[in-house]
Amino acid sequence: MKKIAGIFALLMLAVTPAHTEAPAQAEAEKPAPVEAPAYQVVKEKSFLKFFALQNGAPVEGGFGDFTADIRFDPEHPDQSSIAVEVNTASVIAANEDVAKNLKLPEWLSVEAFPKAVFKSKTITRMPMSDNYYSEGELTLHGKTVPVTLNFQMNRFDGKRAIATGYATLRRLDYGIGQGEWAKPDVIKNEVRVQFRIVADRK
Amino acid sequence: MLKNTIHAYGSVAKTFHWLMFLLVAGLLAAGFIMEGMELGPDKIRLYGLHKSIGIAVLALALLRLTWKAVNIAPPLPGTMRKFDKFAAQAMHWLLYAMMIAMPLSGWLMSSASGFSVSVFGWFTLPDLIAPDKETAKLLRAVHGWAAWGIIAMVTLHAGAALLHHFYYKDNVLKRMLPFARVE
């Protein structure tokens, strides 16, 4: 048993240096990362909405103010990236009182957490389609949680890009809905985010 | 007997009548209670229940009217004055109208407030109108006053039934009472 362990240790010693050196060399030879073309969001044509389920019925809301840093190339999704910053105080809802309440500390707590940020890590194109998904992280209400955006390129002509998509969040992952609201029975945990982004090539 | 006879209401009509009474009484109570509650999950839960039962009343009212249409009704006593007969029948039709108008005004009010109506979480009704603050306020007032209207109508309706039973001593009340036998 001891002998085997000794051989294994020797093997490790022999192998390890080669392993640590090789990637370092490759790193140096690798060209600077290529970035896909940048896009500018056309604000008045884009929207960011969400639907929560209250008593089983969808309650609609949205954010009027958000910015996005988008780099996109359908042929090179690996070089593409999405970063969205949302002004949480710009929350609106079909019912005014809902919007007012959402700004309070129990919910979005917009004074303490004025920004929500999504950053993509990967963007993947589904084979033979205009559907994509992006895995990334959403920082909301002071908490960072991995999320997946699903979207479809409705239009892409080199100048203008139109994408529609959705993501499903669990509000309690972010601590949204505190105290007596933390029980996800009257207002469900799952919140669906929907967006339409119209963006022009910079 | 399921069906009505010329002497008394059948069990279907009686069930409709008393079930409707219980549901409407519950809706009125819930309506007044939830209005005064502080915002919280309990208030929202009660709103959800109120809406669900309200839509159930709307559905029941339509079934009830259908049943009424395909059944005979025991006539009012011949001893009644023409005006009293008219008043009794007018009140019945007003009550039926309220069983439909009240849930509809609530549904409209929900749509105008930006809260769609889910029926016991089974399905969500389509919104009848777009959200609008002023419209919602108006419909809220209508729904609230209609509640008082229903209370007044039911009081008159029940008062008249008691008057028939204790003063005129006819079988008008008895023929709608559950388990009561009318000769």
Per-residue pLDDT reduced to its tens digit, B92-103 = 999 999 999 999
Q: What is the 3-state secondary structure (H, E, C) of B10-38?
A: CHHHHHHHHHHHHHHHHHHHHHHHHHHCC
3-state secondary structure of B174: helix
Write down the residue that tokens 């001593």 correspond to.
Answer: B169
B35, B37, B44: best mutation site toward chain A, by most A Cβ within 10 Å?
A: B44
Structure confidence by residue, pLDDT tens digits, A79-113: 999 999 999 999 999 999 999 999 999 999 999 99
Q: How confident is the model at residue A18 (pLDDT cuts 50, 70, 90)?
A: very low
B74 vs B36: CA distance, rounded Å: 43
Q: Do B114 and A98 touch (CB under 8 A)?
A: yes
Which residues of chain B neighbour A95 with C-beta distances below 8 Å? Answer: 113-115, 131
B34: left (phi over 0), alpha (psi -120 to 50) or beta: alpha
Q: Which DSSP symbol is given to A132?
A: E
- Contact at 8 Å (CB) between B94 and B153? yes
Closest CA to B119 of B41, B52, B167, B181: B52
Q: Do A95 and B115 touch (CB under 8 A)?
A: yes
Write down the residue that tokens 């059948």 correspond to.
Answer: B10
Alpha helices, DSSP H, located in A43-143: 96-102
Q: Measured between CA atoms, how close is B52 to chain A, in angstroms? A: 10
Q: CB-based contact (8 Å) between B131 and chain A?
A: yes
Check pLDDT > 90 for residue A19: no
Q: Percent of chain B having pLDDT more than 90?
A: 91
3-state secondary structure of A114: coil
Structure confidence by residue, pLDDT tens digits, A118-156: 999 999 999 999 999 999 999 999 999 999 999 999 999
3-state secondary structure of A130: coil
- Contact at 8 Å (CB) between A143 and A165? no
Write down the residue that tokens 């009027």 correspond to.
Answer: A64
Chain A residues at the B interface, defined by Cβ less than 8 Å, are 54-60, 93-96, 98, 101, 180-181, 183, 185-187
A61 vs B48: CA distance, rounded Å: 19
A38 vs A71: CA distance, rounded Å: 4
Q: Measured between CA atoms, how close is B113 to chain A, in angstroms? A: 6
Check pLDDT > 80 for residue B153: yes
- Contact at 8 Å (CB) between B172 and B135? no
3-state secondary structure of A111: coil
Write down the residue that tokens 């050196």 correspond to.
Answer: A21
Q: Do B114 and A60 touch (CB under 8 A)?
A: yes
Instruction: Tell me the one-letter amino acid at B149.
Output: G
With 0.90 as the threshold, say if the pTM is over it. Answer: no
Q: Do A98 and B48 touch (CB under 8 A)?
A: no
Strands (E), B9-122: 118-119
Check pLDDT > 60 for residue B72: yes
Task: Say what the ipTM of the complex is.
Answer: 0.81
Q: Measured between CA atoms, how close is B122 to chain A, in angstroms? A: 8
Check pLDDT > 50 for residue A11: no
- The CA-CA-CA angle for residues A84, A87, A91, to 5°, reads 115
The two structure tokens encoding residue A72: 């996109």
Q: Do B118 and A94 touch (CB under 8 A)?
A: no
